[in-house]
Every structure is written in C-alpha cells, then in structure tokens.
Amino acid sequence: MKFYNKWPFHLGIIIFSIVADQLTKLWAVARFTNETGGPNHEYIDVIGSLVRFDLVFNKGAAFSSRPQDIAPFLPPWVFFLLISIVATVVLLWFYKSIDKRDWMSRLGVVMILGGAVGNFIDRMRLQMVVDFIDCDFPDFIMTRFPTFNVADSFVTVGVAVVILSPVILRKLHKQIKEEKEANKQSEVNSRQ
C-alpha cells in the first residue's frame, strides 16, 4: 500500500487543511476589518476582478442559509454542533467502508472532513464562518459566486475527487464490484 493511502498521511491532510484554513482566515480578519471588528469593505484583486479577496462573515449555513429557518427550536450553535457531529460520523463510516485500494475516494473523504472541521471551528469560536475568496463568473450564470474560504475549497475538491474516483480508477472499481458480487454469491451458496 502506498504512503498516500495510509492513515498517518490522511491525518496529515486533515491537519494541513485545518491549519491552512485557520491561518488564512486569521489573515483575512486582520487585513479586512475595521476598528469595530466589522468588514472594512476593502478588497484585493488577485486575478483582476475575476478572483479577489473580500471579507464576508457568514452567519448561516451553506450559501448563507439560516439554521433558524431549518430548526427554529435550536440555538444556531447547537444546530451546527449536531450537524457537524452527524456529518463527521457519516464521513468516518464512509471512509471505513471504502475499499483500502481506492486511495482516491479515501483521500477525497479526508479532504471533506478537514474542510468541515475548519468551518466548524469558526462556528464554535465566532458563531459565524469567515469567507474571503470572491470569484466572478460570466453574468449569465450569476453575478458573482458566493464568497468562500480554504475549508470550502477542501470540501469541494474532496467531493470532486470522490465523484471522479470511479471514472479514473475504473478498472479498480470494476474489480472491487466483481469481488463483492463473488463474495455475495459464495455466501448464498454456503447457506444452501
């Protein structure tokens, strides 16, 4: 088994994603807040106006949806805590259920987990998420893409990696599927 498919490497990816996320958010808050702690409404063009750094505090869930609209009986911090616990349990279960040879899917799940923890830290520490990466899209899609952060990037790339794994590792996935079917058939035969 290659080093990139072992748990110490995966733990390193999780730690790296959390540290990178938190350090960039600390920088964004220090760079783009005024003396009252609010955004100073300045921005830095990174690639013209296509990509820029612009501080936004997201007090809601994904794409600024509000937890009060989903579960009005729970304080937002409890809602996010419960959702994070459930998501972590599901991701860990999914990680353990992936065949060890499918290194791509396992890596994708690890990236999703690292990004989720990064945003969870913000929600528990600040009761909001620090977003600062602002991208433009052609106007026929939307004016600008919702502002995001490094943790969101890890989640998005991780999901893409999990989705692409069966395409890129087609032979391996076919082999794994055939082995599972053969195991099921042998179990059925042994019961008869």
Tell me the pTM: 0.84
pLDDT of residue 176: 83
Q: Give the pLDDT score at 63.
A: 52
CB 107 within 8 A of CB 3: no
| pLDDT of amino acid 14 | 96
CB 109 within 8 A of CB 12: no
Catalytic residue among 21, 54, 122, 131: 131
Residues of the chain with pLDDT under 70: 1, 61-69, 138-142
* Residue 134 annotated among the catalytic residues of the structure: no
In the chain, the number of structural domains is 1
**Could you tell me the residue range of the domain that residue 57 belongs to?**
3-191
User: Which is the catalytic residue, given 21, 102, 134, 152?
Assistant: 152
Phi first, then psi: give them for residue 29, nearest 5 degrees: -65, -45
22: which residues sit within 8 A by CB, 6+ positions away? 118, 121
Rounded distance, CA 148 to CA 130, Å? 8
